[in-house]
Structure 1
Amino acid sequence: MELVVARIGAPNGLHGLVRLEVRTDDPAGRLTPGAVLATDPPERGPLTVAASSERQGSWYVRFEEAPDRTAAEALRGTLLLAAPEEGAEEDAWYPHELVGLPVEDTEGRHLGTVAGIEYLPAQDLLVLTETGGQRTLVPFVAEIVPVVDVPGRRVVLDPPRGLLAGDDDED
């Protein structure tokens, strides 16, 4: 399974430079010149990194296959994919491993299942499908999601009152 490294955003300038929405904790390692990345959709790649740089907290990349702004614009929205790195941390997990995991509260009550993760500029959100079918976005922070146990097949939430749609049914 390949992991999403970044999503290609808008072109920057006339020479094929694009801004990336980075989804890896190691952009410098994943986006080195010469790196070849698979794409989704697959017909847009693979893409070879010609140059990369970080400026004011954003990553910019030029690909050998997109030498000008027109070619770069055609790549907008493309996901860049790479194989998982070997020797990952013991408690590390990848977003695709969370999808479908049961979610419970700190007392062990079943709340629903993980539907995915949404990446926003301020913070990531855990997408929860509650037992009643409601889709709830949960801030993916340790205070609210204290346990992510992929081997144990569970995610534990400690949500503040009112966060979950099911909270309305309890009074």
Structure 2
Amino acid sequence: MTQPDAFVAARVGRPHGLRGEVTVQVHTDDPQSRFVPGAVFDTDPPGRGPLTLASVRVHQGIYLLGFTGHADREAAEALRGTRLLVDDEDEAADDEEGWREEDLLDFGVRLPDGTPLGTVSALHVRDVQDLLEVRTLEGRTVLVPFVAELVPEVDEERRTVVVDPPAGLLELGE
């Protein structure tokens, strides 16, 4: 579980290559200033950190990070699933208008008429538009562009999200 005063800046994915680089799913609006060599991240789970960033590069639109002390593929694999944390107040200026994945996880997802659709299983932060990942009641995963036209309501108190998908969106990938 994340610390109450921390924000997830990224989640470590799979290793890339043989020199300890990992792919990351970015959860910050300002990766250029967050991901700089020498930056130190607390981690979730805490036993994997803190991690000091040794290298940063972008390959085909994906951030590849290398960490001090993790110089080979095996060491990189051990970091898979690790969340890189930053102080909440540091991120607040960057994220005043947005949602964080940890704020939305497990929210119930409903259609505008109240029909239950599933639950929020992830938030994919993208440069152009974010994607809300929904695990349907049938166990499928659907991605919904996280824009006001398609996600007109997020109710924090009730922990629900209303999704108004265009025809065919929920059937993609079947």
Partner Cα separation in structure 1 for residue 78 and residue 138 of structure 2: 36
Query: What residue is the counterpart of 1:6 in the other structure?
Result: 11
Pick the aligned partner of 2:56 from 52, 55, 66.
52
Shift of 1:49: 0.6
The alignment covers a number of residue pairs equal to 159
Pick the aligned partner of 1:156 from 151, 156, 162.
162
Query: What residue is the counterpart of 1:116 in the other structure?
Result: 121
Give TM-score scaled by structure 2 length.
0.67
The percent of aligned pairs where both chains have the same amino acid is 38
- Classify 1:152/1:91 alpha carbon distance in 2 versus 1 (closer, same or farther; 3 Å): farther
Which AA in structure 1 matches 2:60? Q
Partner Cα separation in structure 1 for residue 59 and residue 168 of structure 2: 39
- RMSD over aligned Cα, in angstroms? 3.4
Which AA in structure 2 matches 1:59? Y
What is the DSSP-based 3-state SS (H/G/I as helix, E as strand, rest coil) of the residue aligned with 2:92?
Answer: coil
Shift of 1:48: 0.4
Q: Confirm or deny: 8 A CA contact 1:127 1:137 kept in the other structure.
A: yes
Partner Cα separation in structure 2 for residue 97 and residue 80 of structure 1: 16
Query: What residue is the counterpart of 2:75 in the other structure?
Result: 71
Give TM-score scaled by structure 1 length.
0.68
For the pair shown, which has the larger CA radius of gyration, 1 or 2? 1
Please give the per-residue CA displacement for 1:10-49, whole angstroms capped at 9, x wherever unaligned: 14243x3333333333222221122111223322211001
2:31 is equivalent to residue 24 of structure 1: no
Q: Confirm or deny: 8 A CA contact 1:38 1:82 kept in the other structure.
A: yes
Please give the per-residue CA displacement for 1:51-93, whole angstroms capped at 9, x wherever unaligned: 2122331212221122344433433443323333123554322
- Classify 1:21/1:154 alpha carbon distance in 2 versus 1 (closer, same or farther; 3 Å): closer
What is the DSSP-based 3-state SS (H/G/I as helix, E as strand, rest coil) of the residue aligned with 2:25?
Answer: strand
Moved more, 66-75 or 89-98: 66-75
- Classify 1:152/1:40 alpha carbon distance in 2 versus 1 (closer, same or farther; 3 Å): closer
Runs of 5+ consecutive residues of structure 1 not aligned to the other structure = 166-171
Q: Confirm or deny: 8 A CA contact 1:12 1:19 kept in the other structure.
A: no
- Classify 1:115/1:73 alpha carbon distance in 2 versus 1 (closer, same or farther; 3 Å): closer
Q: Confirm or deny: 8 A CA contact 2:111 2:117 kept in the other structure.
A: no
Query: What residue is the counterpart of 1:146 in the other structure?
Result: 152
Which AA in structure 2 matches 1:146? P
Which AA in structure 2 matches 1:34? G
